[in-house]
Chains A and B, each alone.
Chain A
Amino acid sequence: MFENVLRQADVFFTWENALLWLRALGTTLSMAVIGCCLGFILACVLVYFRSSPHRALLPLRLLLILYVEIFRRIPFLVLIFLVLFLTRALGFRLPLYWVACITVTISATAFIAEIVRAGYESVHRTQWDAAEVMNFGRFRTVWLVVMPQAWTVIIPPAFSYFVMFVKETSLASQVGVYELMQTAKYFNNIGISPFLAFGTCLALYFMVSYPLTRFGWRIERRLRERFRREEGAEPLVPALRPLPGL
């Protein structure tokens, strides 16, 4: 097996192939970035309306709650197929890249909405009161007071979801998007050893995910130090990594 790998090495490690991988990397990252940025904006809008006290908006609020609960619980693979077939059925022959971006957006909105909601709740009730008695109005209160404070609670988990989505986009290969995974399959199909093809793919994902993850820890640590709240005794070991998948 190893001779196989060595033999293919000079066929595999070429500049053209490197470019292919690079393009695929760009596709992977851009899907995650677009999906998560849009998802973040939509999540903020969603949570804003979901927390509205107006009774008239109650049906909308229920719908938004349902949206979050449902789309948090559908596997990405199933979702991307649904988006694909639904858009086709409605007559939109969208490029597969956009199908994937839409899927990431839908999923990210649901996950990040929970994070933003936790962010809202982390802001003390009296901050809302203080704004209210000065006639701020809901939007100004959220824009000027709540979100700037909720930021520190929202950023770390949101960032870790972003890093998770970078890896989830590998499933977009299943609808044919030419991201990292699909490129690996392409190489495997034309005869390159799976160890080379998928190994390179693994390495590239790793080289993106690990630095990003560490960056996320650094952000979290920095935010936590700046807004130190008095708690009980110090933990045994200074705070370790954030727990994944939360």
Chain B
Amino acid sequence: MDYTFQWGVAFGYLPELLQGAWVTFHLTFIGFWSGLAIAVFLAVGQLYGGRLLRRSISVYVVFFTNTPSLVTAFFIYYGLPEVGILWSPYVCILVNLVLKASAFLTDAIRGGVASVRVSEMEAAETLGFSMLQKIRYVIVPHVAKTLYAPISNLYIVFILGSALAAIFGVEELTGTAFNIAAETFRTIEIYSIAAGIYVLMTVAASALLALVGRWAFRVRARIF
């Protein structure tokens, strides 16, 4: 083994790594939940819109769910300056994240709405519910309950997916790890610690989402 481990040195960089983790957090937080907001509209459009709207949204969703984040990120990062749009790397990655998240979430929401039982809708119909009331009392509660777990899961997936921001120089967790490792050559230790922080972050996020789910939606979710 021609590598000497220096964990002490590596752990000394913990503050920087945690700073990077913070960047990861707000990058994914803003990106994912914005994506969710957009996805709600897109899902509604896809379910109730006209033919052209439905088609366009389908194309959008199919495109972003079948292409790697890395490639779309490169496209945005290198392609936009060619047409004169100059955004910071952070914004490029954020936009990429929002686009991807909204696509996956639109799919998820559509699946959730589609799973509303006909029997419940019929019951609401016979009770004289208006469309709005049906949405509020039948669709939304069912969808919220059904989708809570998959959406929480997707959030975790996106936290892990945000690592590619490092390639574009964003100083999130992996990016910070890159830089520190390049400086100190303590590659294995630094990346291991970064990996550990990712594990802890996602566990914490899962646990929190599970708690919120249990409290707000009475959804029993698994943390592990």
Asked if chains A and B are in direct contact (CB within 8 A), the reply is: yes
| Chain A, Cβ-Cβ closest to B157 | A245
Chain B interface bracket (under 10, 10 to 19, 20 to 34, 35 or more): 35 or more
Q: Which residues from chain B contact A241 at a C-beta distance below 8 Å?
A: 107, 111
Decide: B1 and A91 in contact? CB cutoff 8 A: yes
Residue from A77, A199, A243 within 8 A of B174 (CB atoms): A77
Contact indicator B108/A75 (Cβ below 8 Å): no
- In the bound complex, do residue A74 and residue B111 qualify as a contact, i.e. CB atoms below 8 Å apart? no
Chain A residues with Cβ below 8 Å from B167 are: 77, 174
Asked if B34 lies at the interface with its beta carbon under 8 angstroms from chain A, I say no
Complex: chain A residue closest to B224, CB-CB: A69
Which of B48-56, B113-121, B209-217 faces chain A? Answer: B113-121
Closest A residue to B189 using CB positions:
A85
Shortest Cβ distance from residue A75 to the other chain B in the assembled complex, whole angstroms: 4
| B62 adjacent to chain A (CB < 8 Å) | yes
Q: Indicate whether B203 reaches chain A with its CB closer than 8 angstroms.
A: yes
Contact between A73 and B121, CB atoms less than 8 A apart: no
Q: Which residues of B contact A237 (CB under 8 A)?
A: 114
Chain A, interface size category, equals 35 or more
Q: B110 to chain A: which residues have CB within 8 Å? A: 240
- Asked whether B198 lies within 8 Å of A77 as measured between CB atoms, the reply is no
List the B side residues contacting A70 at CB < 8 Å. Answer: 199
Write the chain A residue with the least CB distance to B177: A78
Q: Which of B8-16, B69-77, B87-95, B125-133 contacts A (4 or more CB under 8 A)?
A: B69-77
Is A181 a contact partner of B160 (Cβ separation < 8 A)? no
Inter-chain contact A91/B2, CB cutoff 8 Å = yes
Kindly state the separation between the CA atoms of A233 and B123 in the bound complex, as whole angstroms. Answer: 12
Instruction: Tell me which residues across on chain B come within 8 A of A173, comparing CB atoms.
Output: 70
Q: At the interface, yes or no: B141 with Cβ under 8 Å from chain A?
A: no
Instruction: Give the residue of B62, B150, B154, B160 whose beta carbon is less than 8 angstroms from that of A75.
Output: B160
| Cβ 8 A contact of A198, one of B63, B66, B78, B121 | B78
Contact with B along A60-94 (1 / 0, CB 8 A): 00000000011001111111011001101111000
* Contacting residues, chain B, for A89 (C-beta < 8 A): 1-3, 188
- Minimum C-beta distance from A230 to chain B (A): 14
Contact of B108 among A167, A174, A232, A244 (CB under 8 A): A244
Assess the B198–A75 pair: CB atoms within 8 A: yes
- Complex Cα distance, B64 from A206, in Å, reads 9
Q: Does B18 make an interface contact (CB < 8 A)?
A: no
Query: B79: which of A73, A90, A171, A194 is its contact (CB, 8 Å)?
Result: A194
Q: A235 in the interface, Cβ–Cβ < 8 Å?
A: yes
Instruction: Judge whether B82 is part of the interface by a CB distance below 8 angstroms.
Output: yes
Question: By CB atoms of chain B within 10 A, which of A201, A232, A243 has the most?
Answer: A243
6 smallest CB-CB distances across A and B, nearest first, come from A75-B163, A89-B3, A233-B119, A194-B78, A167-B68, A237-B114
Q: Could you list 29 A-B pairs, sorted by A, with CB under 8 Å?
A: A69-B224, A73-B198, A73-B203, A74-B160, A74-B199, A75-B162, A75-B163, A77-B164, A78-B198, A81-B187, A167-B67, A167-B69, A181-B70, A184-B71, A185-B74, A188-B78, A193-B82, A194-B74, A195-B75, A198-B75, A202-B71, A205-B66, A206-B67, A235-B117, A236-B113, A240-B110, A240-B111, A241-B107, A244-B104
What would 19 more interface pairs be, CB under 8 Å, given A79-B195, A81-B187, A233-B120? A1-B82, A4-B82, A73-B198, A77-B167, A77-B174, A167-B66, A167-B68, A167-B69, A180-B71, A181-B68, A184-B74, A198-B78, A205-B67, A205-B68, A233-B118, A236-B118, A239-B115, A244-B107, A246-B150
